[in-house]
Structure 1
């Protein structure tokens, strides 16, 4: 999209100035003429940091996107045309980026483009997976059920993602608070007692000497600890981005006792849900596999899907290559094999997705119940050790004084 500044005359001859966005100057001219304006000047604006759209995170939140799909489907069911539906949804959305995208989609639709073509100009909002589902719905004349299926897909995906986040949110919060408390004790509380201990020249217990040493180190070299922490995080992130080391790290995470099981189930549920939605919407299986690859972030599972797609191209089955991969459990591959044999693969994949989503929820609750007491006990031991290291020599000093 390009921005244009214009000067025009309205029907009564009054001068109006403003700016608009269009794909090119010809479209900008047409937009102004369609509104009855006589163009005096029209200039393309150079993109700068002052007029560039800047946003952080996702342009459209998952929940907002699901609501959009539900409402769009309801409007089509009520008998409105696609253009009318997009227009009404644009008018009510408060998200300015989404509003702008829907505005240009409406323009493209009025110029005769299909919904898929119009959405293709906004890939940050409408993914390739989404556009292929819409294309299939348009070509088969079943756009309304396609929108309903997409809403269900994104709703399930968002739910799973939120549950994964909530599982680690509480332990992460406890860990941050624990670190803050320990640092506070070492920097501000423990040094208060150092002078008193030194004045009596008493021999301090080993645990007290250790805590005092830790307090002295943290107080004098906090910047070094911060630097080392940032360096380790940066190194891990860099290694994770590399293809070979990243795959090894992902494989290591997937094979961890509890966390690995959760990650595996999360990926299996996402793959099954994606394939079920695509195949159920008449997308060819090879194309559905390729689209699912693009939505899969884990490189281990992505590599397995690529090999499976190559097997399908050569006339092989869907289930067989997955059976030979360690990350895909027996139940997953057997249900796919049954779906292939009976010709009910989309429905079978849907059942697999539901099973692993429920199983994932149970695993998340188990991990949460395991981590919470573990972190609390760890925090209690660390803080208790610091307090004990102060109390022990104080009792000895009081005994000496008495």
Structure 2
């Protein structure tokens, strides 16, 4: 997909009507040939920028639901794609759906056409669409995909929100503290220099910190930039990435939250692939490709290698620390009874429910702690600023 460019065209159709629209093509020449083959005499052809935010999973979910509804109503695949394209509000999606329609009309399967757009449609989407084409249940696969993608999207938003809120509050507290130390305290320090009485130890310490920040802010900015650059470099290092992911999973609150979200996604994908009749090895490959972190990719790849060598899934899972130990007996029961898809579905539901509950509890439990810390920091600065005034009043009263 990266080699394709979005083009906006204006031209005259074979009936003499003036129209305009969007299309995808690798070059201007290819776009002109494609439009001329449809009987359009071009007037203008301009490239347009591609907005990645329109490739968000929300639009993919909407497309899957609309396609499933039209297929259940008896509309053919090509006509369904055409109807969705005509009603879609986003130009690049209209052009994409029209491009898919043309490929379908030329005899190409939908799954193969979707594989040419990896930035839009994940590997799981293409795999289940292919299964639906082979089994004749394309509308059911689209509905399962939409439900799974929507559930994981909502869960991911809840987890990100639960982890983002404490970080945002802490960032605000740091900004307020630095603002008071850099702008408010120097004004009070200038006033206190006219006093003939010694300042309290707390005030002297805070003023010293303010003077250090005022004189060394350039070094602080340089240090922050260096930390960001080093952090990006370490993220690309495989060993550092492994270490950071292990530390993240061992964190008291955030670790279980991230683990639950990842396991919920893995078990949900495996459930869909098992119910669709996709082999377990292919299902593990699809689950691996849907995970964002390389650490989890490697864990599932090792799991897939052991299963390919003949080990049962539950025994292979025992050797990976990312999986919860209580999940192994359920997987073992599912493999021995032939109900692996049922057990996977239960595990996905359990992890989804627990992760949602932990996300709600995380925000509720951290909020009072963060408020107390912010109150202590800001209260200490306020007391340090006004404490000399109280001491001055006591000295004047004694005099």
1:330 aligns with: 325
Residue of structure 2 aligned with 1:266, choices 261, 266, 274: 261
CA 1:394/1:3 → structure 2, altered by over 3 Å: closer, same or farther?
Answer: closer
Among candidates 110, 115, 119, match of residue 110 of structure 2: 115
Cα distance change, pair 326–8 in 1 and its aligned pair in 2 (3 A): closer
2: CA distance, partners of 1:69 / 1:53? 25
Given that 2:6 and 2:48 are in contact with CA atoms closer than 8 Å, whether structure 1 keeps it comes out as: no
Residue 28 of structure 1: how far off its partner (Å): 4.6
CA contact (8 A) 1:275 1:349 kept: yes
Please give the secondary structure, in 2, of the residue aligned with 1:65. Answer: helix
Could you tell me which runs of 5 or more consecutive residues in structure 2 were left unpaired when the two chains were aligned.
Answer: none
Greater shift, 11-20 or 278-287, is seen at 11-20
Per the normalisation by structure 2, the TM-score is 0.90
2:337 corresponds to which residue? 342
Distance 1:182 1:203 in 2: 25
Q: State the partner residue of 2:36.
A: 32
Retained in 2: the 8 A contact 1:101–1:122?
no
Does 60-69 or 100-109 show the bigger shift?
Answer: 60-69
The 3 A distance-change label for structure 1 pair 124 and 67 is same
Against the structure 1 CA distance between its residues 9 and 293, is the aligned structure 2 distance closer, same or farther, given a 3 Å change threshold? closer
Structure 1 residue aligned with 2:49, among 44, 47, 53? 53
What is the aligned length? 393
CA gap of 1:75–1:206, structure 2 versus 1, over 3 A, is same
Change (3 A) 1:200 1:149: same
Give me the whole-angstrom Cα distance separating, in 2, the residues matched to 1:243 and 1:99: 40
Closer, same or farther in 2 for the Cα pair 1:323/1:10, shift >3 Å?
closer
Change (3 A) 1:109 1:340: same
Q: TM-score under structure 1 normalisation?
A: 0.89
Give the superposition deviation at 1:27: 7.6
Deviates more, 1:128-137 or 1:298-307: 298-307
SS in 2 for 1:123: coil
Provide the aligned C-alpha RMSD in A.
2.7
Higher mean alpha-carbon deviation, 218-227 vs 390-399, is at 218-227
The answer to whether the aligner puts 1:315 opposite 2:310 as a matched pair is yes
Are the structure 2 counterparts of residues 271 and 221 from structure 1 closer, same or farther at C-alpha, using a change threshold of 3 Å? same
The whole-number CA distance in structure 2 between the counterparts of 1:5 and 1:253 is 46
Q: Which of 17, 22, 45 is residue 25 of structure 2 equivalent to?
A: 22
